[in-house]
Amino acid sequence: MKYLPLDPAIFTQNRKRFVQKMLPNSIAIFVSNDEWPSNGDALHSFKQNSDLFWLSGIVQEDSMVVLFPDCPDPKYREVLVLVRPNTLKEKWDGKRLRAAEAKSISDIPTIIWLDSVDALLQGWIHLADHIYLNSNENDRKASAVRTREYRFIDEMKSSYPLHSFQRAAKIMKDLRSIKTKEEITVVQQAIDITDISFKRLLQFIKPGVNEFEIEAEIWYSFLSNRATGPAYASIIASGDNARTLHYIANNAVCEDGDLILMDFGAEYGGYCADLTRTIPVNGKFTKRQKAVYNACLHLHNYAKSILKPGISIVDYTDKVGAEANQQFLKIGLLNKSDIKNGDNDNPAYRKYLYHGISHHLGIDVHDLGTRNEPIRAGMLLTVEPGIYIEEEKMGIRIENNIWITKNGNIDLMKNIPITVEEIESLMKRR
């Protein structure tokens, strides 16, 4: 791993939180993700199962976490399963974790090798009444591929048909949406690296630069500061490209007079940052660009002001939408008739702001969390209103990462330049 070792207390605390939610005399088993084939004999870069990482900090393939808090033998109440190191294989694929290294990362004292776990696992399951198994229940999931965790569910149900099976994902959705202070410390490191990278871009961007050159600068800055890499595919969208929400082609030339929307974030220690800024390619906003940008910034600040414990994402989005109607009226995008003729299913502002305002953030950039229940203290959410004007070939979005606490919001990106004046001042110094 490129990042410095994390405090293993993060994972110890996470396991305790999960165990507290388990039924009596239950065992929970979490398996790692598949290694995915690419073409020929190549594999895609391995990405660990987010729940297994949340419990252990382990990023190695062919790993498992077993939690059995009522096991009669205390040694097996927390178990980490790893592939046994093979010195010959390591000559080709690199070093694998030794037991002591894995203990240091995860703070799990008992390490079992994968080739010897089956007999032990069978005995533990025979002692348990309930088996918690994991599944990807992210509401945004859109994959038809049957992954390892689902194949493992099939195997367990076939082998132990009389046990009571429970959904680990239901517990995970609740727990992972509430970030501990220790987790936020790691997120802040990802954000600080993203901050460094953005300020670097303000000195680099000028008319004639290619979008992919900006993306390359992001990669360089991330890796030089120990990030694993981008938390997601960076969006570097100049001119009219900014109206495509998930534009990742990044192959256009940035023209004088255009704006450029950049949506990117570092991944550090398994946790994601998610920043969006829109800046002028030539370093100076036009009068019209400034007016639209400030309207978007107003919506951003308004959204932050009402995102508090107790409000639901639905009600929050409706309130921001009502404020968007008023802002769009001020900058000439809508008139009073447009607003009057809008309805709940198709409000007027949706013509220029056609996406949600916030999503949960954490180990996944679209992290687990509710969209229907009230917001709770501890949640980490993005705030990212946008304005997209087809007739003006303009797209603006402004995004920060906000930690909700009982004592008010904490903007983890408060040090990243955001106003017109801050951006122009820094770009002027190129």
The pLDDT value recorded for residue 327 is 98
Residue 103 has pLDDT above 90, yes or no: yes
The pLDDT value recorded for residue 4 is 95
- Compute the distance between CA of residue 260 and CA of residue 392 in angstroms, rounded to an integer: 14
Q: Tell me the average pLDDT across 275-304.
A: 98
- Compute the distance between CA of residue 282 and CA of residue 339 in angstroms, rounded to an integer: 35
pLDDT tens by residue, 331-383:
999 999 999 998 888 899 999 999 999 999 999 999 999 878 899 999 999 99
Residue 429 has pLDDT above 80, yes or no: no
> Which residues in 14-171 belong to E strands, given as ranges?
26-31, 64-67, 78-82, 110-113, 130-133, 164-167
* Residue 295, number of CB atoms within 10 A of its CB: 21
- 9-175 topology per CATH: Creatine Amidinohydrolase; Chain A, domain 1 (3.40.350)
* Superfamily (CATH) of domain 181-428: Creatinase/methionine aminopeptidase superfamily (3.90.230.10)
The pLDDT value recorded for residue 372 is 81
Domain ranges of the chain: 9-175, 181-428
Residue 300 has pLDDT above 90, yes or no: yes
Partner residues linked to 380 by β-bridges: 403
Burial class (CB in 10 A: 0-12, 13-18, 19+), 291: middle
Q: Tell me the average pLDDT across 416-421.
A: 98
Residue 414 has pLDDT above 80, yes or no: yes
Residue 54 has pLDDT above 90, yes or no: yes
Residue 32 has pLDDT above 80, yes or no: yes
pLDDT tens by residue, 241-286:
999 999 999 999 999 999 999 999 999 999 999 999 999 999 999 9
The pLDDT value recorded for residue 150 is 95
Please report which residue ranges of 43-116 form alpha helices under DSSP H. 50-56, 87-93, 99-106
Helix 168-176 and helix 9-19: axis angle, to 10°? 130
- Compute the distance between CA of residue 134 and CA of residue 132 in angstroms, rounded to an integer: 7
> Which residues in 154-242 belong to E strands, given as ranges?
164-167, 229-230, 235-238
The pLDDT value recorded for residue 144 is 77
The pLDDT value recorded for residue 89 is 87
**How many Å separate Cα 85 from the centre of its chain?**
31
Residues in the chain: 430
Residue 416 has pLDDT above 80, yes or no: yes
Written as six digits, the tokens of 424 are: 């122009």
